[in-house]
A and B are shown apart, each in its own frame.
Chain A
Amino acid sequence: VNFADRNIATFPENPHRVSALATPAPEPAAAGVLVGAATAATADADARLGLGRAALPEEVAAWNMDVSPDGTGLPDGSGDVATGESVFEENCAVCHGSFAEGVDNWPKLAGGDGTLADDDPLKTVGSYWPHLSTVWDYVHRSMPFGNAQTLTPDDVYAITAYILYSNDLVDDEFVLSKDNFASFEMPNAGGFIVDDRAETEYPQWRTEPCMENCKESVEITMRATVLDVTPDHGGDDAAAAAEEAAAPAPEAAAEVAAAPEAAPAEAPQEAVEVAAAGEVDAALAAEGEKVFRKCKACHQVGDGATNRTGPLLNGIVGREIGAVDGFKYSSTLEGMSGVWDSDALHGFLANPRGYAKGTKMAFAGLKKPEDIDAVVEYLKTFP
């Protein structure tokens, strides 16, 4: 076998069996290719090249996580609605809302029942998703956003149960497990048809196109500049950029919603002295511990804290910005000077991407200044 020749062999079109590879390729070699099909045909194409290695069972188990609509692929486990509510609050609510109603432009997971034929359908897990397996599969592998694959199977069963509860599809006693999973039918399970363009569209559009006198008149029926939602495109009207998010836009592409509310980071009026360790308002810090649940998906504090998706936060208050050893910051944070005093933390936490454009922190921000006060106080307890 001359493997070098295989590099320029033409492959047979669409072989339906491996054995097809062994039959002589019917087409002549392309112009300019001197050694071609005939040579390839003499090679034993059924023979494998012997590249790669067998995957070990534990390797396949580690990656082969997909769950099919009939439940194939689910691990053992279970979770109830009440547990799901607290796990959801801790891991999911920052984007999806405490009741799965969605925050800002983040996906709504609940509601929308019966809206699919409306002018503005609300597609949620409850109103749109055809299979429960999809919820489990996606939460298990890809959520929480920025901290994927950290939830246990029981957590995922619980979150899935809570999402069903949020959609009024189960009562608060419901327990989801591997055993009852396949019996659960989603409301929109029957709402999908296989692509029918070949019947409903292609025949009527495969006609000889008109070239002259195709219409009586042409009138403008809609103009993009009326909506005025186009970002600045490097031209001379920089003013457009300022206006870009101002007008409401029709729901558009995947995961698109209306223009988000502008949320400029308002700098606190007065600089606040950074409190030294020991000067901590314990009650406020306790409030902050609750708020910090939103941060825990990515940040650790306390004994044994390490860098995860975000840097460890021990001693963060008063520390130089972008200075935790071993954490790979965005160039933005790395390039910022100054320390994380109250001003800086307020600015950053209110609107991470507004305050530090380019930061890797995917968090949407804390809307309430009192929450920021509380979480800063909590962080002070880890000097």
Chain B
Amino acid sequence: EPDPLITEVQSWASSFGDGVDATPYGLPIKFEDDVIRRNVEWLTADTISSINFTPIHALDGTITPAGCAFERHHSGAIELSKDDYRLMINGLVETPMVFTYADLERFPRENHVYFLECAANTGMEWAGAQLNGAQFTHGMIHNMEYSGIPVRTLLNEAGWSGEVEGKWLYVEGADASSNGRSIPLEKALDDCLVAIKANGEALRKEHGYPARLVVPGWEGNMWVKWIRRMEIMDGPVESREETSKYTDTLADGTSRKWTWVMDAKSVVTSPSPQAPITHGHGPVVITGMAWTGHGKITRVDVSKDGGKTWETARLAADSGDKALVRFYLDTEWNGEEWFLQSRAMDETGYVQPTKAQLREVRGLNSIYHNNCIQTWWVKPNGEAENVEVS
């Protein structure tokens, strides 16, 4: 039977499409209108202090488009213009300084691709399989190319003493939450940036326009948005965000603090509950992403049988430093049941653990920093479900 899409002249092959003035700044075509951030209403009391999730099940490659990169804010995404922007550096410096946005643009700057993962990513899965979709279980992550000024350059401009031992950098945002965090000065000097661009364009409002902190490999809460102040101090402030939140409670009731690094982690993004197999038997591409706050991913393995046997996946490109890497397993599916898992390894030799391994050390109440191996149950009809397996 000939395909009418081929044998008959279609409207788009005969009449006009849009002119170049139709969309001065484009959005995805309407057929992709389900590739959007989503939130989980019952998770928080109010969307003003809440989080949404990147539709990772529908993306490929490694760079997250800003328009669907997850947002987390504690007092809403504020509108702060470049003209109204000020960055203050104070504390243990020779001269407390104020920089305008225009000043920031005149400092030497660098470009780096980094992942940003919320410490609570996959946190809802700690007690058991709960949310049925990679977007919801693993979508508190994005990966962008940042253009920014090294923090050390800015501190130098204020006459930093050069003393690192025992010193901390306290950073806060201009929004009502302020979201203050204390960072060991050594880390701030090592690779932190004040970013003014992401993916080549200005930061989006929800990602901290016009300037945010970049803290490579460390939990997203420290990447203070709308950054307005950096203070060199003799100790940590122990703010709300680093004591009452973003601490990891163990089985005996004690809690870990300063759990900044995001350990190696990976997830299969397709097939997954929101991305079922719909094309019937035969060739299928299993894909997903991996990342580590300790540097580079060296290998990703995939299991189709819940971890009995593993095969090594193909990395689409060499891993960057503290950046997402894409993996593929080009294989066949003929209606058999799969328990799909992925397992990342990084350059320190760390192997992504199972949930059982994590629980053995941390118990059942440690919400943050859940980097366990995820299982998707692919059923004979091609649908997939979030499950835990023995």
- With most chain B CB atoms within 10 A of its CB, the pick from A11, A15, A16, A256 is A256
With A206-B348, A206-B349, A213-B308 already in contact, the answer to whether A256 and B96 are too (CB < 8 A) is no
Residue of A nearest to B159 (CB): A48
Residues of chain B contacted by A196 (CB below 8 angstroms) = 256
Segment from B2-10, B62-70, B171-179, B195-203 that makes contact with A: B171-179
Structural contact, B390 and A222, CB atoms closer than 8 A: no
Tell me, yes or no, whether A82 is within 8 Å of chain B by CB.
no
Tell me, yes or no, whether B31 is within 8 Å of chain A by CB.
no
With A210-B310, A224-B385 already in contact, the answer to whether A15 and B247 are too (CB < 8 A) is no
- With most chain A CB atoms within 10 A of its CB, the pick from B34, B244, B353, B357 is B244
Structural contact, B108 and A231, CB atoms closer than 8 A: no
What separation, in Å, do the CA atoms of A253 and B136 have in the docked complex?
Answer: 12
Tell me, yes or no, whether A31 is within 8 Å of chain B by CB.
no
Structural contact, A104 and B45, CB atoms closer than 8 A: yes
Tell me, yes or no, whether B109 is within 8 Å of chain A by CB.
yes
Tell me, yes or no, whether B12 is within 8 Å of chain A by CB.
no
Tell me, yes or no, whether B284 is within 8 Å of chain A by CB.
no
Tell me, yes or no, whether A193 is within 8 Å of chain B by CB.
yes
Structural contact, B130 and A227, CB atoms closer than 8 A: yes
Structural contact, A149 and B90, CB atoms closer than 8 A: no
Residues of chain A contacted by B90 (CB below 8 angstroms) = 55, 60, 63-64
Residues of chain B contacted by A211 (CB below 8 angstroms) = 301, 309-311
Contact of B127 among A64, A235, A250 (CB under 8 A): A250
Tell me, yes or no, whether A152 is within 8 Å of chain B by CB.
no
With A49-B106, A121-B253, A197-B259 already in contact, the answer to whether A59 and B88 are too (CB < 8 A) is yes
Tell me, yes or no, whether B329 is within 8 Å of chain A by CB.
no
Structural contact, B238 and A68, CB atoms closer than 8 A: yes
Tell me, yes or no, whether B254 is within 8 Å of chain A by CB.
yes
Structural contact, B239 and A137, CB atoms closer than 8 A: yes
Query: Which residues of chain B from 219 to 274 have any CB-CB distance to chain A below 8 Å in the complex?
Result: 228-229, 231, 233, 235, 237-240, 243-247, 249, 251-261, 263, 273-274
Residues of chain B contacted by A244 (CB below 8 angstroms) = 40-42
Segment from A125-133, A276-284, A368-376 that makes contact with B: A125-133
Residues of chain A contacted by B45 (CB below 8 angstroms) = 95, 104-106, 255, 257, 260, 364
What separation, in Å, do the CA atoms of A142 and B91 have in the docked complex?
Answer: 21
Tell me, yes or no, whether B180 is within 8 Å of chain A by CB.
yes
Structural contact, B238 and A142, CB atoms closer than 8 A: no
Residues of chain A contacted by B326 (CB below 8 angstroms) = none
Structural contact, B239 and A148, CB atoms closer than 8 A: no
Residue of B nearest to A107 (CB): B45
Structural contact, A193 and B257, CB atoms closer than 8 A: yes
0/1 string, A38-82, CB within 8 A of B gives 1: 000000001011011111000110011011110000000000000
0/1 string, A209-249, CB within 8 A of B gives 1: 11111110111111111010111011100000000110001
Residues of chain A contacted by B176 (CB below 8 angstroms) = 142, 146, 148-149
Segment from B14-22, B150-158, B204-212 that makes contact with A: B150-158
Taking the closest CB of chain A, its distance from the CB of B313, in whole angstroms, is 13
Contact of B88 among A11, A63, A217 (CB under 8 A): A63
Segment from A17-25, A84-92, A175-183, A318-326 that makes contact with B: A17-25
Tell me, yes or no, whether B59 is within 8 Å of chain A by CB.
no
Residues of chain B contacted by A194 (CB below 8 angstroms) = 256-258
Taking the closest CB of chain B, its distance from the CB of A14, in whole angstroms, is 5
With A52-B98, A194-B257, A234-B36 already in contact, the answer to whether A221 and B310 are too (CB < 8 A) is no
Structural contact, B99 and A52, CB atoms closer than 8 A: yes
Structural contact, A201 and B361, CB atoms closer than 8 A: yes
Structural contact, B237 and A67, CB atoms closer than 8 A: yes
Structural contact, A253 and B309, CB atoms closer than 8 A: no
Residues of chain A contacted by B44 (CB below 8 angstroms) = 105, 255-256
What separation, in Å, do the CA atoms of A197 and B262 have in the docked complex?
Answer: 11
Residues of chain B contacted by A249 (CB below 8 angstroms) = 42, 124, 130
Structural contact, A53 and B97, CB atoms closer than 8 A: yes
10 A-B pairs besides A138-B240, A211-B309, A215-B307 with CB distance below 8 A are: A51-B106, A53-B97, A105-B45, A117-B251, A192-B257, A220-B388, A222-B388, A249-B124, A253-B124, A256-B124
5 A-B pairs in the complex with CB atoms less than 8 angstroms apart: A210-B310, A220-B389, A231-B136, A250-B126, A353-B47
Interface residues of A (CB under 8 A from B): 3, 6-7, 9, 11, 13-19, 21, 46, 48-49, 51-55, 59-60, 63-64, 66-69, 95, 104-106, 116-117, 119, 121, 123, 125, 128-131, 133-134, 137-138, 141-142, 145-146, 148-149, 191-197, 200-202, 204-207, 209-215, 217-225, 227, 229-231, 233-235, 244-245, 249-260, 353, 362, 364
Interface residues of B (CB under 8 A from A): 34, 36, 38-49, 51, 74-75, 88-91, 95-100, 103, 106-110, 120, 123-124, 126-133, 135-136, 150, 152, 156-157, 159-160, 162, 164, 170, 172, 176-178, 180, 186, 189-191, 228-229, 231, 233, 235, 237-240, 243-247, 249, 251-261, 263, 273-274, 301, 305-311, 339, 343, 345, 348-351, 353, 357, 361, 364-365, 367-368, 377, 385-390
Question: Closest 4 A-B residue pairs measured CB to CB?
Answer: A234-B34, A218-B306, A117-B253, A116-B253
